[in-house]
Amino acid sequence: MAFSVPKKAFQNQLVFKGLKQGLTLIIPEEKSFSFWLEALNSQLMETKTFFRGALINVELGARKLTKAEEESLKRILSSFSIIAKSFTNQYAETDRGPREEGKGKERITRSYMVHGTVRNGQRIEYDGNIIVKGDVNPGAEIVATGDIIILGRLRGTAHAGAKGNDRAEVIAMLMNPVQIRIGNHFSRSPETGANRTCPEIARVRQGKIVVERYDVNQH
């Protein structure tokens, strides 16, 4: 999916595009970065809640951001409830293959998108990452060899890193699972406040699964 900036003043394009690593915002190298921040804010105002709750990758081409520029971009995205999962400068290489392999590497880039809620009795299993655009209800199970990203409520069971990858992660907009498993570790009731309304991430630290607020500045 791609579209132009709606206002005539912005002649070039900001593009949201679905790539193998997930939804990606591509920022052109031409013009100043402040120009594109204004364009992005204008475009998101036009689309209103269309991208609300999305986790995206940001592709910068050859551009290198200052810390202040990066923070400004994150603030704009956050104001529309969008989370920037990663920033890359290698757009030409991001769509080359399904996996990132090699010595010491365990991150998987191949992903499977589930459109809608996963209901009681359903089990979805995939050799790669799984992204759910909806809730995972009690009695439902998601199993992935890579990461699991849920753009809704996790109330069922999620097993990331199913082939023993302890570096895998589970991210959900609201985290209240029956069980989380990562690699060979599991937790039946991760400690997360019932009133939490922010995105949270589960990962393995010092041999056990911990659940904490998802912070793009530390990820």
The predicted-structure confidence for 55-111, as pLDDT tens digits, reads as follows 888 888 778 888 888 889 988 988 888 888 777 764 333 333 334 433 334 555 688
Is the pLDDT score of 8 beyond 50?
no
**Does any domain span residue 115?**
yes
The answer to whether residue 99 sits within a structural domain is no
**What is the mean pLDDT of the segment spanning 183-193?**
70
Q: Return the pLDDT at 58.
A: 87
- Span 131-163, pLDDT tens digits: 998 999 999 999 999 999 999 999 999 999 998
User: Directed axis angle between helix 67-79 and helix 33-47, to 10°?
Assistant: 10
Strand 157-160 to strand 185-187: parallel, antiparallel, or no bridges (unpaired)? unpaired
Return d(Cα 118, Cα 91) in angstroms, integer: 32
Q: Which CATH number goes with the domain that contains 38?
A: 3.30.750.50
Is the alpha carbon torsion for 30, 44, 197, 120 positive or negative?
Answer: negative
DSSP character at residue 110: -
148-154 and 129-133: which strand pairing? parallel
The domain containing residue 130 runs over which residues?
A: 111-213
**Residue 89, pLDDT score:** 63
Does residue 2 lie in a domain region? no
- 34 and 86: one domain? yes
Sign of CA dihedral 95, 99, 102, 107: positive
